[in-house]
Structure 1
């Protein structure tokens, strides 16, 4: 299999880019796979969403401590990039996803005889962030957020509120291959409006953090986990969806108050890869750990015990089918 340099593994930028566990590989595994399905022996290959990455990273590290002979390869490619370039063409066993799989992606997987199995693993409070020096802003309505991020929308802070500075926005957000981009588009802009293109688009959430840290006029958005790592250097903006300003947090995402920017996070597992014991063991471990404080420790809401049990039941049924 030839190397796809457009989706190569990202350079290291700290804990969010490389796992602490030495047995979890973050380079080489995706490019070097052979055969129809990615799993071979004790290898498990994972790509996809940068938002889900911290959850999978933490669970992979814990799994590796107990299973040092299993090689895990983990990369950030974006939800859509992961489906299109890796998962649905048989190069990975698991795709992290910050949105549900699209019909076209399911069709692509089917063309390659890959059956994607969906497992909810957490809930995220998608977070809009500003520079702490931007003392004029603590809350935005959905209408204001829409005006900032729509194509041909506002260009300056004063376009939103005449009392705000007459400064052009410096905007940072998700790339178009990202599930975060898709979800933000749907939740904020809807079907009638297009997301603006004149912003810094990236799959590297830490780049968004750095951009917002560096400019008083900056605004960005990403998963809550990346804000929770940097609460003193960037400011989370509350969102008013008609019922007052609600701050993004694990608690408001769990209660359902933080709308419309709270969202489910998923992993998709290739059913065919579950024929491999390593993929079976890792996925089973993942479902169990997704209901624990391991998920809340990285800034997301864990699954409920009921959801955990539903995930495990679905998983065991699939394993039984491919083992027949």
Structure 2
């Protein structure tokens, strides 16, 4: 599958749902990272229930999606990070109970222009030197990052402030969520970031692995050195075995309990989404790491039992492995 035009894909799904009543329509919004998974699920679901159900999928970033979700404007929100305590409180104030469902793992990729011949790997400290707030208007050249790097402009591209990818990246690399320099090219559309790096010799960007896997002819992934480990490239395998650190992370959908309780279409869509065989197929197809079948079974049980709330009490947590995720789901 190709996901070169997120807005177009969302618009197509919205057009398909034009004649659907509220009872037959699922409204989804949120993360651009999770969008390819949900779009693929929505397409297959609508084929399965042709003429009966429709799904619209918007893209406003994890933060933008949670705002809409906690106002009761959408039934499901995609998120590339766990819900924050402030968002939990906003949902509580508006009477929105939610179910937190992990759906995949991602290797958040750091990428450079393919013609960049001086970067063989980057350390977390070097990335921090580029991205921390103190770097603004000061760190603008590759020669400032490592001795031996050339005197070439450093041009940064990254997710916007409403993105869960931005939140996770800043916490993992800078050490504080939502803390970074502001003088970089920001966009909620990952394809804008892809083209920015692809067209800029000194460009460096970050986004979900699916957008790297769809653009390997335009981008060069950077191995990341974390602590004393050897540099590791982002891949499905290194996300699965938790060696790609600190930029491997779980991806989620959050479902309104009221929507699932009161509307058959939402219940059926989430059931469909959590089918282990289908999830493994579609998650892999769009370039992410499917969870073990046990994880989907645990998520479906939590959904069926209407287990509400989050197991991530303080928002994003760095270095979550599949085993950690399974343990958190078993303890619900």
Aligned length: 297
Question: Aligned ranges for residues 213-292 of structure 1 at < 5 Å?
Answer: 213-241=198-226, 242-274=228-260, 275-288=262-275, 291-292=279-280
Q: Which has the higher helix share?
A: 2
How far apart, in 2, do the equivalents of 1:67 and 1:110 lie? 33
2:59 aligned to which of 67, 76, 92? 76
Deviations 1:225-249 (A, max 9, x none): 0000001111111100020110000
Cα distance change on mapping 1:82 and 1:26 into 2, 3 Å: farther
Report the more deviating stretch, 191-200 or 265-274. 191-200
Contact 1:146–1:188 (8 Å) recurs in 2: yes
* C-alpha contact (below 8 Å) 2:75/2:266 kept by paired residues: yes
Matched ranges for 1:1-324 at <5 A: 14-19=4-9, 24-25=13-14, 40-68=22-50, 69-84=52-67, 86-153=68-135, 154-191=139-176, 194-241=179-226, 242-274=228-260, 275-288=262-275, 291-318=279-306
Could you give the per-residue CA deviations for residues 250-269 of structure 1, whole angstroms, max 9, x where no partner exists? Answer: 00000010010000000000
Q: Aligned partners of 2:252 and 2:179: how far apart in 1? A: 25
Whole-Å Cα distance in 2 between the matches of residues 78 and 66 of structure 1?
Answer: 28
What's the CA shift string for 1:152-203, capped at 9, x where partnerless?
2222100012321212211110101110010001111113993110001110
TM-score by length of 1: 0.87
Unaligned segments of structure 1, at least 5 residues = 1-12, 34-38, 320-324
State the distance in 1 between where 2:301 and 2:115 align.
49
Q: Label 1:209 to 1:27 Cα distance change in 2 as closer, same or farther (>3 A).
A: farther
- Displacement of 1:21 in angstroms is 11
Report the CA distance between 1:293 and its aligned residue: 2.0
Cα distance in 2 between the residues matched to 1:66 and 1:236: 37
Runs of 4+ in 1 over 6 A off after TM superposition: 26-29
Q: Using the alignment, how far apart are the partners of 1:193 and 1:281 within structure 2?
A: 36
Which residue pairs with 1:9 in the alignment? none
CA 1:77 to 1:193, structure 2 compared with 1: closer, same or farther past 3 Å?
Answer: closer
- In structure 1, how many angstroms separate the alpha carbons of the residues matched to 2:15 and 2:208? 21
Give the distance between the partners of 2:178 and 2:266, measured in 1 at CA.
41
Aligned alpha-carbon RMSD (Å) = 2.2
Say whether the 8 Å CA contact 2:167–2:178 is kept in structure 1.
no
Residue 19 of structure 1 contacts residue 61 of structure 1 at CA under 8 Å; is this kept in 2?
no
Q: Give distance in 2, aligned partners of 1:296 and 1:106.
A: 30
